[in-house]
Structure 1
Amino acid sequence: MLGFSVFLGEDLTADTQAYIKNMSKQGFTGIFTSLHIPEDDATKYAARLTDLGALAQELKLDLMVDISTKALNSIGLDVQTDLLQIKKMGITGLRMDYGISMETIATISNEMTVGLNASTLTENDVALLKYHQADFEQMELWHNYYPRPETGLAREHFIEKNNWLHNLGLSVIAFVPGDGQLRGPLFEHLPTLEEHRTTHPLAAAIDLLDYCQVDAAYVGDSSLTYETRQQFSSYFSQATMSLRIAETIETHAHLFIGTHTNRVDDARDVVRSQDARFKEIPLIEPENTATRSIGSVTLDNTNYARYMGELQICKTTLPADPKVNVVATIISEHRNLINYIKPGQHFTLYKKGETN
């Protein structure tokens, strides 16, 4: 599952509404927002949350709201007495934070989805929730995002914690950075894992979902660029990794621009397109047989005999080879996606301005 964040520091503008609608179109199914961000004017929350909830209902998006008792009271609602009104606003889940007892959390879980802090949940908390007859099928474990550099979680402990949470039968949600509008006041991205802070958002999401025992990845920052949204859609809807290239040479561009399939016998050093064998390959003379850095797109030339025309993307830096032409380079922002191209998976190479 994929989700994104919409913050209430400003009114729901036409641009923000268009962004939410586009995210829904690209396959995102959940919205996260928070009622206790120190920099925001909390007196504006009620109207903005009402507008956001209405749009979420219209688009059939889940809406998880991060709350504390004080934050909810600031908009005139009480978590124990106003659940029906909260649900009518389009809010489908409440992430419980400061000042809410386990007994109250257990009661609410029998009425709607409850999010708990995945990083701080203890065995004693779980015991109390069971004692108060919480509905664990309506509970989710949400990790924090970390605005301050160097404070994000470490990978090993993160995975260990997620394994424990899964053993309890609970789903786990974590955050990846955005690459559009970043949230202030630091503007240093909002990931859960520190190692993801400057990682491409799609690479971080794949890492969480495939390798870190996470069930849903939400974008922590305020937005993704349009290009990145398309990459998410291509990957999760069409199982295709889309990568933008900066061309090095124009010769035989029709052989590398477009969609390819990674070989099932996935190589250690390179992504190998299996499609060359199904194409009519023209004579490829040696040209730009330079050092093959990470992200280099290469075509084997006539010196490679029957391998002429094979297309590869370098996962690691390789030496120059008179049999291999470097024809393009994956742009730096997309290079950490290369290692997430799976065996047998489609990948598309496109130039700036083209549809990925």
Structure 2
Amino acid sequence: MIGASVFLGQQEEHEQESYLDVIAELGGMTIFTSLHIPEDNASIYIKALQTLGSQVQARNMELYVDMSTHSMASLGLQWEESRTLLDWGVSGIRMDYGIESAVIANTSQYMPVALNASIITPEWMEDLFALGLVKDHAEVWHNYYPRPETGLDAEWFDKQNRWFKDNGLKTVAFIPGDGRLRGPLYKGLPTLEDHRSTSPLASYLSLVKDHPVDGILIGDPSLSRPSVDQFKYYQNNTILIRYELLVDESQMSSLLHLDHWNRFDPARDVIRSEAARPFAQKLVEPIAARNQIARTKGAITVDNELYGRYQGELQLIKTPLKANEAVNVVGQVVKEDLPLLEFIGAGQRFSLKRL
């Protein structure tokens, strides 16, 4: 379900291939690129597009290209010749502003087209269907928004997507990356403004669980290594949470690094590891009381020997709580991963990784 953006001419061919391999490992099928190109660089972009198309085809992926009438002309093609792009490894075209409805409908006869979600009206959609738009070859893609404060409102986004689905059209949206960001603003490329400062996996899960769409693409040109690891863990239905250790105690290491899962009767204020207490019962030494401070959101706590039979219970704190002499605060989830806590529901597996 995850896909990625590749911006032509911004990296070496081997780097581009390596990134495609990473996305393929994550189960990615769709690659997006843009062809808003100046006239004098047309020949460079033709080769770059053909190279990317070949790389994508070699991995059994699909390539969608954002095009305008100007960029088509820059490639030396007319819209009637757009089939040529299929020979270059292009799977579908995201239609930019200003392309005639008849051109869009005609193109859909032989290749997929992605409509711009920002400009669709009921009247235009009716016109497209009347002109012969092939519904099975049509999707609706939202924009990404480079400028802060301009990303979409989530409520409006959901309303629009329900309308698109009612008309039988699949929807696609973007989430920000967190590796090399795209200029000139370097502020992320999300569809929803809520996701601008949120980690890629948290943004992804937000779309999957709270704002369902049919396809999710990473807007920025790369993911950080930690984010790649988090997506790989999630392929195995495990949410990887990064944390900083607050106590210097080897006894905690084995407890923290268990394979955890939230209880199937989830608590309101905390995430309770089902695995921790049974493991702690096997420890030779009792868990001494230490660092019993106030529990902020994201605190990782372990109940000490003062809690009796609860000794060894490990929790992730979702709601700030007061200090408790029977509860040790042993770690803190990093800021970037705090939004992931809301996705650890009943029975959800999670792992903890120390920074």
Q: Tell me the TM-score normalised to structure 1 length.
A: 0.94
Distance 1:343 1:183, change over 3 A: same
- SS state of the match for residue 120, structure 1? coil
Verify the 8 A CA contact 1:264 1:344 in the aligned structure 2.
yes
Q: Deviations over 1:21-61 (max 9, x none)?
A: 122112222111111168x9555211111110000000111
AA aligned to 1:128 is D
Distance 1:208 1:264, change over 3 A: same
Question: What displacement does 1:11 show?
Answer: 5.2
TM-fit CA distance, 1:255:
0.9
SS at match of 1:304: helix
Match of 1:335 in 2: 338
Task: Give the 5 Å matches for 1:1-356.
Answer: 1-10=1-10, 12-36=12-36, 41-83=41-83, 85-235=84-234, 237-249=235-247, 250=249, 251-281=251-281, 282=283, 283-352=286-355
Summarize the Cα distance change of 1:213–1:22 in structure 2 as closer, same or farther, 3 Å threshold.
Answer: closer
CA RMSD, Structure 1 to Structure 2 (Å): 1.6
CA distance, structure 2, for counterparts of residue 23 and residue 118 of structure 1: 25
Distance 2:112 2:266 in 1: 41
Q: By how many angstroms is 1:267 displaced?
A: 1.6
How many angstroms does 1:342 deviate by? 2.4
Confirm or deny: 8 A CA contact 2:180 2:220 kept in the other structure: yes
SS at match of 1:286: coil
Q: TM-score, normalised by structure 2?
A: 0.94
Task: State how far apart, in whole Å, the 2-side matches of 1:351 and 1:128 are.
Answer: 56
**Are the equivalent residues in 2 in contact too, given 1:258–1:350 (CA < 8 A)?**
no
One-letter amino acid matched to 1:68? S
Distance 1:309 1:280, change over 3 A: closer
Partners of 2:260 and 2:274 within 8 A in 1: yes
> For the Cα contact (< 8 Å) 2:37–2:45, is it kept in 1?
no
Name the SS for the 1:121 alignment partner: coil
Match of 2:119, SS state, is: coil
Any stretches of 5+ residues in structure 1 without a counterpart?
none
Evaluate the alpha carbon distance shift between residue 116 and residue 191 of structure 1 in structure 2; reply closer, same or farther with a 3 A threshold.
same
Cα distance change of structure 1 residues 156 and 262 upon mapping to structure 2, 3 Å threshold: same
Q: Say if 2:258 and 2:275, in contact at 8 Å, map to a contact too.
A: no
- Structure 1 distance, partners of 2:41, 2:243, is 43
Q: Deviations over 1:166-221 (max 9, x none)?
A: 11111110010110000011111100111111101111111112111311111000
Look up the SS of the partner of 2:240 in the other structure: strand
In structure 2, stretches of 5+ residues that fail to align are none
The number of aligned residues is 349
Q: Aligned partner of 1:183: which letter?
A: R
Deviations, residues 112-145 of structure 1 (Å, cap 9, x unaligned): 1110011221101111111112111111110000
- The Cα shift of 1:322 comes to 0.6
In 2, Cα distance between equivalents of 1:151 and 1:10: 25
Q: Check whether the contact 1:287–1:325 (CA below 8 A) recurs between aligned residues.
A: yes
Provide the rounded CA distance (Å) in 2 between the counterparts of 1:89 and 1:244: 42
Q: Kindly indicate whether the alpha-carbon contact (under 8 Å) linking 1:163 and 1:213 is maintained by their aligned counterparts in 2.
A: no
